[in-house]
Structure formats: C-alpha cells, structure tokens
Amino acid sequence: MNIEKLVSDHIKKGLKEEYNVDLENVEFQATRKDFEGDLTVVVFPILRYIKANPVVIGEFLGEYLVAQLPQIEKYNVVKGFLNLVLSDTYYLNFFNEVKDFSKYGLETNTKSHLIVEYSSPNTNKPLHLGHIRNNLLGYSVSEILKAAGHSVHKTQIVNDRGIHICKSMIAWERFGNGETPESSGMKGDHLVGKYYVKFDQEYKSQIQDLMANGMSEEEAKQEAEIMKAAQDMLRKWEANDEQVVSLWKKMNAWVYKGFDVTYKALGVDFDSLYYESDTYLLGKDVVEQGLEKGVFYTREDGSVWCDLTEEGLDEKLVLRGDGTAVYMTQDIGTAIKRIEQNPDTKGMIYTVGNEQDYHFKVLFLILKKLGFDWAENLYHLSYGMVDLPSGRMKSREGTVVDADDLIIEMEQAAKKISDELGKLDGLSAEEKLDLYHTIGLGALKYFILKVDPKRRIVFNPEESVDFQGNTGPFVQYTYARIQSIVRRAKEENVPSTWNADSITLHEKEKELLKLMQLFPETIQQAAKQYSPALIANYTYELVKEFNSFYQNVSILGVDDEGLKAFRVALTSAVGAIIKTAFRLLGIEVPNRM
C-alpha cells in the first residue's frame, strides 16, 4: 500500500479514537531539507476539526503512528508540521518488491485508446527547428501515455495542397530546368523548399518593379504576375488538371521521401497519415447537418457561420458563400472521420503551436455544439515557439534552421566536446560515430523536452551539449558510468543476493530510494499534464542524487559482500529507471561513453 495512504488511514483512525472526529483528508508535503524526515503531515488543516494546539496534535499523532506502524521509525514536530522518519525496512521492502526495474513504473492495464496528432508539415519546405519541437513533443507524449496505461495511435495530417504548394511548383517550372533530387544531390524536401524561397524572391522583385511604375504596395502584391500564376495553378489543381496534378504528385513524392529520412534520423514514427488533399472536402456535409440543428446560420451572401459570442468567442466562418470549405470545415470533418475509423477512441491530442490556440478553442466548441460526446476529451497540446539567439526564423526568407542540418550540427558539437574531454578514448571510429549521433541527438531532444511545452525556447546548441548540468549528455554519461560499475561487478563475481536484515541504509541510499519511489507517479502526472518536462527533470534529479551517492559511498570497494551486492543492485536499478525515462523522451542511452 502507498505509504501516504497507509499513514492517512491511521491518522484518521487515531483522531477518531482520541477526539471522536471524522477527518476527510490528510495533507502531506515534502519534508524540508533542514528537518529530519521523509514525509511531512501538515497539521494545521486538522484544527478545523479539533480546537487544540497544533504541536499537541502533532505529538499525539507522531506517538500513535510510531506505535501502530513499523514503517515509521521516529518523528519530530516543528510548529504545525509532523515530520515522519521512515524505517530502513520500509525502503528495503520497497526495493525487494520491485522484481524487474526495467519495467518499473509502466502501467500494464489499458485505460483508454487515444489519438495523438503531431508533425503535420507543409510539403513546400523541409522540416525545421520548430517542427523538431512539435515532433519531439508529440512522440514523447505518445510514449508517456502508453507508459501510463493508454493505447495510443500516432498520426499526422500532411498539408499537401493550397497556394503555398503551388508557389514551389510554379517556381520550379520557371527556374528549375528539370532539376531533380537525383540530379542535384539534394534531399527532395530541400529541393522543393529551395523553390519556395525562389518564389518569394521573384515575387518581391516583381512587387518592387510594379511599385516603381506607380502602383501602391497593396496593388502590386495583387497584380504581381508570378502570384497570379500560382493562383491560376491552384484553380487548375482543384479542377483536376492532368498536367498540374502530375507535377504536384511528382514534387510531393520528392518531399515525402525527404521527410521519411528526417523522421528516421529523429527517431519518430506514425501509425497513420492523413493528407489534406483527401480531407479538404470533409466536413461540408456536417455543416449541412449543423444548419438543420441550428448550430450554424446562413448570411445573405450564402456563407455559413457559427455564432460563439455567448461563449466569449466570435462568429466563425465554416463555409464560404461559393460553397468552398475553410480550414475549420476540414478540421471538423477530419476529427469526425478519425473517430469513425477508430471507434474505441476516448480522446485526441493535437500537438500544434500556440499561435493556433484560438482555432482549437473554436474547433472543440463547435464539435460539442454538434453533439459529439467525445469532443469533451479533445486537447490542444499548445507549445511555444523555438527561437535562436539571433531571433525568430522565417521560412519563405530562407532563414530557418533546417532539421537535417541541425542534427548534423549536433553530432559535430558532440564530437568536438567529446574529443576535447577525451570521453571516447579507446572506442573504434564506427563506435564513435554512433555515439556522436546518440549524444548529439540526445542533447537536442533533452534541451527541448526539459522545458514546459507552453514556454518559448531559445535554443542554444553549444549549451545543450554540455556534459555538466541539466543536459542530455550529463544524464547519458551517468548511465554509461552505471553500466561500467555493473560490468565490473560481474567481472569480480559480486553476489547477486543480499539479506535485507543485515543492511543499514546510508543516508545517500535512502535518498535514492525515496526518489525511485516517485517514478510511477511522475509518469502518471506527466501523462495527465501532457508534459515530458516532468520526466526529464525527474531524471535529472535522480541522476544528481546518484552522483552524490557515487561520490560519498563506496560501491565495489566495500568489504561486506552482502552490502556490496545491495549497492550494485541499487546502482543497476537506477540505471534501469534512467533508461526507461529516456526512452519515454525518445532518447537513447549508451552503454559506454
């Protein structure tokens, strides 16, 4: 039984016996560092039931708990706080009860089926640093939800149509000279992105020429020939023009192949893909049904709207006057289609940047108004943008940090600092390359995931690869150190069994065990809050505590074989938790480093 539940039950029982009161809840908090104790009961709320000095109540409860529970070794009362010291036996029993720390904290009973959407890129440019945060968040949240006991379906919707796609297409037609990924040696998404930037350059040049001839800037933007050509191409695409559709399919295929390379390098995957070209007409029938229900209304120009002013929002367009769909129409239809295809789904999580906060408020509210019960379980995993020390990125100006380039840069940064520190001496060239990738990618992922998703990030590659502090390489290095200890223990034939009755816990061992106990609840909280940061920062605290243990307590040098066996087992267990935690973040841990 959970120690807080056990103590809480006995406190209620003791107060009933002594004061004849029925206490509803017992409030706990972490014991302050300057007081002795492992668990603190806050006495002040009990004063609502009993008019007495809080110290007197605390002393009574402390004596009662020590007498009733062998898990409580002693206590102290500081004003209105009862600090409880848990026995070594309690911690050792906990350690013994966990038979397999490689699966510790993972919930095996399936709670519900959830859909997590992430990535959802445009096919007019390669993935960049902003996409990296999206992918890492979505993937990690999916893994955390699985660990918390949910069944998860990972998906994305690829934005493969629209004027932005046609911009790349028209620029390639005019300036590409038949260039392909094979002939250029470029990844397909990079090649298409090159022509998206080229379009913007040509568009701006035409605007300047028109303005020089007397047009206003706004008129010039509308009259620029290359923009008109892109708009005409979009109309032809929507009319299913054979030549335009053929070019669209060819260039999109280049991009998809490029995306797959990046996803593999990042270590993320999907269970299904949706394409906007297939879904952009979805939802139109639902709008008709909504009109019949009175959820929507029609204006004089034939456009259809949803009035959300009573809910503190505005009026939202869901269908244009010419009958064409808008993004909201499509998202309504796609949500419904996903539930139809996954009828057991209890909720959907949309991983999308915070610039779309309002969009998702409206989407969820409209779905509720349409009468879909599952709309109560929709969640927008809103995250802040990623900036560089030099400022914000801009795709059409070509100032973004390309995801592929960043991964390579992280590997090079890992190589530089590893070589300087001499961390990888003795490894083969191939082993070093693998480690550079593991360390570099781990540094990138950890730096992004350790921050609360809602916060904006300024990403600093050099800071992320530091082997000290709250970084991925610091955790990875500690894990490698643990594996080295475990290997040495096997070489020295350290026993695998030990007797709990003969073990007196060192303060550092107890602190480690206290933190290890928190791992299952940390996973559950991270799942409830959709926050990998809780896992990342828990792991950092565990690693710091292990390093303190390592520096203050002899592991393999102790004479007592039973104590040595326990300390090796404890060390191995910490390593197993680190590995699990990092797996939930999508980060690999090296056995040697």
Mark residue 572 as left, alpha or beta (left: phi above 0; alpha: psi -120 to 50; beta: remaining). Answer: alpha
pLDDT value at residue 402: 87
pLDDT value at residue 393: 42
Could you give the CA distance from residue 304 to residue 287 in angstroms, rounded to a whole number?
A: 8
For residue 76, give the 3-state DSSP assignment: strand
Facing residues of 529 across strands? none
Domain 403-584 top-level CATH class:
mainly alpha
- The reply to whether 403-584 shares the fold of 3-86 is no
For residue 246, give the 3-state DSSP assignment: helix
Distances (CA, A) of 14 to 38, 63, 69: 21, 10, 12
Residue 56's CB is within 10 A of a number of other CB atoms, namely 12
Residue 205's CB is within 10 A of a number of other CB atoms, namely 12
pLDDT value at residue 394: 47
Torsions phi, psi for 63 (to 5 deg): -60, -40
3-state helix, strand, coil in the chain (%, to 5): 60, 10, 30
Distances (CA, A) of 74 to 66, 82, 242, 511: 6, 11, 82, 17
pLDDT value at residue 1: 61
Contacts of 571 (CB under 8 A, 6+ apart): 482, 485, 486, 546, 555
Rg (CA), the chain: 30
Dump the DSSP string for 140-179. HHHHHHHHTT-EEEEEEEEB--SHHHHHHHHHHHHH-TT-
Domain spans, the chain: 3-86, 162-270, 403-584
Could you give the CA distance from residue 328 to residue 208 in angstroms, rounded to a whole number?
A: 35
Contacts of 271 (CB under 8 A, 6+ apart): 153, 154, 155
Q: Which of 532, 476, 466, 540 is nearest to 135 (CA)?
A: 532
pLDDT 10s digits, 239-292: 999 999 999 999 999 999 999 999 999 999 999 999 999 988 889 999 999 999
Could you give the CA distance from residue 7 to residue 521 in angstroms, rounded to a whole number?
A: 18
Distance of CA 481 to the CA centre of its chain: 27
pLDDT value at residue 390: 64
pLDDT value at residue 383: 96
Place of tokens 């990690």: 140
* pLDDT digits (tens), the chain, 593 positions: 689 999 999 999 999 999 999 999 999 998 998 999 999 999 999 999 999 999 999 999 999 999 999 999 999 999 999 999 999 999 999 999 998 999 999 998 888 999 999 999 999 989 988 899 999 999 999 999 999 999 999 999 999 988 999 999 999 999 999 999 999 999 999 999 999 999 999 999 999 999 999 999 999 999 999 999 999 999 999 899 999 999 999 999 999 999 999 999 999 999 999 999 998 888 999 999 999 999 999 999 999 999 999 999 999 999 999 888 889 999 999 999 999 999 999 999 999 999 999 999 999 999 999 999 999 999 999 999 888 776 544 444 445 688 998 999 999 989 988 888 776 777 888 889 999 999 999 999 999 999 999 999 988 888 888 888 999 999 999 999 999 999 999 999 999 888 888 899 999 999 999 999 999 999 999 999 999 999 999 999 999 999 999 999 999 999 999 999 999 999 999 999 999 999 999 999 999 88
pLDDT value at residue 553: 96
Could you give the CA distance from residue 561 to residue 572 in angstroms, rounded to a whole number?
A: 16
* 130 within 8 A of 406, measured Cβ to Cβ: no
Find the helix or strand (DSSP H, E) in which 285 lies: helix 284-293
Contacts of 204 (CB under 8 A, 6+ apart): none
Q: Which of 498, 509, 479 is nearest to 576 (CA)?
A: 479
Distance of CA 228 to the CA centre of its chain: 41
Q: Quick one: fold of 3-86?
A: Gyrase A; domain 2 (3.30.1360)
